[in-house]
């Protein structure tokens, strides 16, 4: 399929170019990713052309800003990254658009930076790498907390989506992974951590107050669509004080989108189609952590209707991001 739009496509600035080392142990792989994540206009564009990808919506690599303990430094690096991304996108506005990196350690600063990036640079929303550390490494700020609700008000007012991208669990939360380090990050821990964060947002009542919010999850929804019936059912049976006014299935289908990033399999696609419908799924590759040719070949060969392929590959993104 020609004209695809991809939207979990990563870049880095020098200050964040080695951040992926926290979840990669192979030195050759580390060097490979560093080279690719710093490139926007070379091999990336060639691969996009070969794969029929018309546009990438680019985002900063992980954990980047979310792992910076000092609030001022987090804000400074986020602004620097966003300035660089805006400059690079301006060179090829026909091929690249941007997601803002945000210093979520301070919700007021995060809101100001998102407003700046949307209004001055035309960025299409924000991509944030999971919870944020602050002051000490073994700390976490999740965005259902009360101090973030004014931030969410600004997101809704701007009418742009928020991509909740994974990061691994805190060191203090790794007991269940003990002796099995291979499970901690992309293999399993990313989805468990990010899916739990998304469920916290659903259960907090956030979408009752801000019903127009749109959250994007990669990797076909970080395990949520396949389990949403049971999740929603068990909370209905035993809510245990959950403040959400509607079912979790309602929020999934009305406030969330999922992408194909890094999960090139028919099974999770079918689960997302059955639970959410084709209007809530979009194409992504997760480059350079995954292969653009592999993602495109898989997607283009899927036995789905051409109407569904067009929506997932292109028109859903055009509508959501007002392209």
Q: List active site positions.
A: 286
Nearest residue to 256 (alpha-carbon basis) of 198, 192, 298: 198
CA 130 – CA 212 distance, rounded (Å): 21
Strands (DSSP E) contained in the chain are 4-11, 53-60, 96-98, 126-129, 132-134, 136-141, 162-165, 215-217, 256-259, 281-282
* Residue 237, both tokens: 């049976």
Say which residue the tokens 């020609």 belong to: 2
Bridging pattern class, strands 4-11 and 53-60: parallel
Say which residue the tokens 């009418």 belong to: 159
Say which residue the tokens 């035309």 belong to: 122
CA 288 – CA 308 distance, rounded (Å): 26
Q: Residue 244 in 3-state DSSP? A: coil
* Residue 209, both tokens: 């107050």
């Amino acid at each position: 399929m020609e004209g695809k739009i991809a939207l979990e496509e990563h870049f880095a600035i020098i200050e964040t170019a080695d951040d992926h080392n926290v979840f990669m142990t192979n030195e050759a792989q580390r060097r490979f990713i560093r080279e690719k994540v710093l490139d926007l206009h070379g091999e990336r564009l060639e691969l996009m052309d070969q794969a029929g990808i018309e546009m990438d919506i680019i985002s900063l690599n992980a954990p980047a800003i979310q792992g910076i303990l000092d609030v001022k430094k987090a804000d400074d690096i986020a602004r620097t990254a966003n300035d660089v991304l805006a400059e690079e996108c301006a060179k090829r506005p026909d091929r690249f658009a941007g997601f803002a990196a945000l210093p979520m350690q301070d919700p007021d600063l995060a809101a100001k930076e998102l407003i700046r990036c949307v209004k001055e640079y035309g960025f299409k929303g924000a991509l944030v790498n999971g919870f944020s550390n602050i002051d000490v490494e073994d700390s976490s700020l999740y965005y259902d907390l009360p101090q973030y609700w004014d931030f969410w008000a600004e997101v809704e007012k701007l009418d742009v989506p928020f991509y909740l991208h994974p990061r691994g669990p805190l060191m203090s939360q790794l007991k269940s992974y003990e002796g099995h380090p291979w499970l901690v990050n992309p293999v399993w821990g990313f989805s468990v951590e990010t899916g739990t964060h998304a469920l916290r947002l659903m259960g907090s009542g956030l979408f009752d107050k801000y019903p127009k919010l749109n959250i994007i999850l990669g990797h076909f929804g970080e395990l949520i669509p396949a389990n949403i019936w049971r999740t929603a059912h068990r909370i209905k049976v035993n809510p245990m004080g959950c403040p959400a006014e509607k079912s979790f299935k309602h929020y999934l289908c009305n406030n969330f989108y999922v992408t194909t990033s890094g999960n090139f399999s028919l099974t999770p696609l079918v689960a997302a189609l059955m639970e959410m419908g084709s209007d809530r799924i979009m194409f992504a590759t997760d480059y350079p952590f995954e292969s653009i040719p592999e993602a495109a070949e898989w997607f283009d060969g899927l036995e789905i209707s051409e109407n569904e392929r067009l929506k997932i590959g292109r028109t859903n993104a055009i509508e959501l991001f007002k392209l």
